[in-house]
Amino acid sequence: MNSWDESFSDTKINFDSPIPYYIQIKEKIKEQIDSGSLKYGDQLPGEPVLCNLFAVSRTVIRQALAELEHEGLVARKKGKGTFVSEPESFEKLSGNLSGFYQHMKKRGHLAYSQILKQEIVHAEKDIASNLNIKPGSLVLQLDRLRYIDNEPIVLTSTYIPSHFVPGLENMELSRESLYGVLEREYGIVISRAYRTIGAVVANEYHAGLFKIKKGDPFIVISQIEYSSDGTLFAYYHGLYRGDRNVFEVEMVRQ
Amino acid sequence: MNSWDESFSDTKINFDSPIPYYIQIKEKIKEQIDSGSLKYGDQLPGEPVLCNLFAVSRTVIRQALAELEHEGLVARKKGKGTFVSEPESFEKLSGNLSGFYQHMKKRGHLAYSQILKQEIVHAEKDIASNLNIKPGSLVLQLDRLRYIDNEPIVLTSTYIPSHFVPGLENMELSRESLYGVLEREYGIVISRAYRTIGAVVANEYHAGLFKIKKGDPFIVISQIEYSSDGTLFAYYHGLYRGDRNVFEVEMVRQ
DNA sequence: ACGCTATACTTGTAATAACAAGATAACATT
DNA sequence: AATGTTATCTTGTTATTACAAGTATAGCGT
């Protein structure tokens, strides 16, 4: 694993800048991660090596790494080294709002997803509008119905302009997080999203899918997702049964 | 401001413990804050003073303070000192789910609350059950209807066993955050909550209150709140209109 | 009494040094 | 070849020192 030498060799800090050394170094390491030069699981050079590479004391390196660790970008293991962290599952960003699955799995409930649709389609007007593309443009549409104990609980639809994810329509997705696949296969990390949460009542189609009554309530979550280079990347839409305590959250002040 | 000398003088660290010094010190400062010995706005002793008080190097003190700052408990100002931070408004803990008001105010919308009920009542069965008290026990009930641009948007009800908050039924609450009042007047900080989020449809009463149709959908948030000493303190119930994008959240991975 | 300057106090940045503890590789022994 | 020991590498903790930069107070001059 000597490729990092090359990655870092042309990233010297400016010793005359008013910006503290440790902040400059932190940002340079971030750039390596954001640019994809460093990926999940990659090991950073050890502290002594970084001291040499950047020509600063270990204090500075440790401070930069400590902050990166606090921000969740790296994980430091005594005796082993410093590693790029698994990207926070995008679900975690939702403030635990969608931790339902993991929660129920932990409790021993049967949880699985059924893929209803995974194909390239022409974007309808509202989808196109959300994605800021022309109606009729090609998008990858992924619809999943999620079950707990054989009961449909959540219907999710994700739309991604197809040129961003060539081949995704043929990939096996029932076992994996979409966001994990996006990073591994396409080097794409969702870093920002804009979400709205509302409530609607079930129409005929959804009532049938979920086996509930027309007029029963859903929580509806819509979000627009941006990748780390600022590109408007995906539109997500989720319908969650309103009567199943889908969202149970413990909040702790710390 | 020499009262801190007394606060900290009997809180020496154990130099033989496997627990690092900086962690011990961090916890002791936390205890001072949690116990109320140090309140919002209080200044901690300066670093040199803490070095003397705890008989450790400045490195250790700075590490402890850095972590406390990262956790939001203190704020450090160059040249001024280190201060206990304003308690994160409990609303912030909700992952921005209830930042609606501030958001709309910022945008220049007219936002206000109407207090529908602020009195001591006998707890009905479901309220008592949530508060783990006997049905019929005395509780402070606070109902508010919140408006944006003269339109009712949120109906909130909070129930607190009345012996926790003597006199609250007579206090002016339309201008202040309830949680701010609880800390200032009663020294109570909500530190943990258990929340569920669901969806319901409007019954006759709520439809009338919100001027919507019976059967229209609401987001319903219920939560049980614990104070920092672990006491089950309050039960909150909120009805949010499902069609008003009450929850708009920007999420950033950092 | 007011204004300016010097001093003291505060936290922030950075370097150096030493030791601890965990992990891994290399070497020695069986 | 397998096992045990030692050496090396890694991050973690702690101490000391020095200087920087911001803030507040004291002292001095008008």
B236 and B174 co-located in one domain = yes
Q: Do the beta carbons of residue A74 and residue A44 sit within 8 Å?
A: yes
pLDDT at A32: 85
A140 and A80 co-located in one domain = no
A66 and A102 co-located in one domain = no
A240 and A215 co-located in one domain = yes
Decide if B118 is inside a domain: yes
**Residue in B93, B242, B247 nearest the CB of A251:** B93
Would you say residue A220 has pLDDT above 70? Answer: yes
Number of H helices, E strands in chain B: 9, 9
Decide if A43 is inside a domain: yes
* B81-102 per-position pLDDT tens digit: 998 876 554 444 444 444 555 5
Range(s) of the domain holding residue A50 = 4-84
Domain boundary at A32, A53, A84, which? Answer: A84
B119 and B180 co-located in one domain = yes
| Count of domains observed in chain B | 2
- A72 interaction partners in chain B (CB closer than 8 Å): 254
Decide if A254 is inside a domain: no
B207 and B168 co-located in one domain = yes
B95 and B129 co-located in one domain = yes
**Which residue from B150, B95, B187 is spatially nearest to A197, judged by alpha carbons?**
B95
Mean pLDDT of B135-162: 88
CATH number of the domain bearing residue B156: 3.40.1410.10
Q: Is the CB of B78 under 7 A from strand D?
A: yes
Domain boundary at A48, A63, A84, which? Answer: A84
Question: Could you tell me the two tokens for A182?
Answer: 């996006």
CA-CA distance, B192 to B72, in Å (whole number)? 16
CATH number of the domain bearing residue A66: 1.10.10.10
Neighbour count for residue A228 (Cβ, 10 Å): 18
**Paired residues of A60 in beta bridges:** none
* A39-82 per-position pLDDT tens digit: 777 889 999 999 999 999 999 999 999 988 888 788 898 888 99
| Weakest mean pLDDT among A87-96, B41-50, B191-200 | A87-96
A235 and A141 co-located in one domain = yes
Confidence of residue A101 (pLDDT cuts 50, 70, 90): low
Q: Which nucleotides of C are covered by protein (CB under 7 A)?
A: 9-17, 20-24
For chain B, what is the mean pLDDT? 80
Decide if B253 is inside a domain: no
**Residue in B196, B217, B254 nearest the CB of A199:** B217
The model's pTM: 0.55
Mean pLDDT of B42-64: 92
Decide if B101 is inside a domain: yes
A234 and A200 co-located in one domain = yes
Neighbour count for residue B187 (Cβ, 10 Å): 12
Would you say residue A20 has pLDDT above 60? Answer: yes
- B97 interaction partners in chain A (CB closer than 8 Å): 95, 97, 197
A43 and A96 co-located in one domain = no
Between residues B31 and A87, which one has the greater pLDDT? B31
B31 and B133 co-located in one domain = no
Would you say residue B194 has pLDDT above 80? Answer: no
